[in-house]
Homo-oligomer: A and B are copies of this chain.
């Protein structure tokens, strides 16, 4: 049987992450251990987008001693039970983000400062589903990232350079 994903509970808001996690672990015969509980708290305390490495650093800051192995293993579980989702914005590493209690959204990524901003567009969603159906695909999920330069960076030399280069060549096409 597939994990009984409780959409009702999923809509409730903060705090229930633990419940969902516990339920998931139980039905999988897994255990709620100290490291897992700690990670859960650290993650849902406030990060919305983070890499495995950032999370690891955060552990050290808060004196939570966990190995990277456990960290990765836990991220995998959290992704499986839909508390987190993983994205790849083309940087070095994968980004994880909260899913619980969040509407689906897409991302704007600043190529100058790597800041990530979320946005929603039901219209885009609609068009996507439409496009998928036209081509005979059963859509499951999607990932849309718009890469550009944020307002703040557009003022900087770095930001301007990125924009100018973006006009002609994507990476090191300049000079």
Contacts and interface: CB of A to CB of B under 8 A. Distances in A.
Interface of A: 1-5, 76, 79-82, 85-86, 88, 90, 106, 108, 110-111, 117, 119, 121, 123-124, 127-128, 131-132, 134-151, 154, 162-175
Contact of A144 (B79, B88, B142): B142
Contact of A173 (B3, B148, B169, B175): B3
Given A82-B169, A140-B147, 10 more contacts: A2-B174, A80-B171, A82-B173, A88-B88, A88-B90, A108-B131, A110-B137, A137-B146, A142-B147, A143-B144
* Copy total for this chain: 2
8 contacts: A2-B165, A88-B90, A111-B140, A128-B146, A137-B148, A139-B148, A140-B163, A141-B146
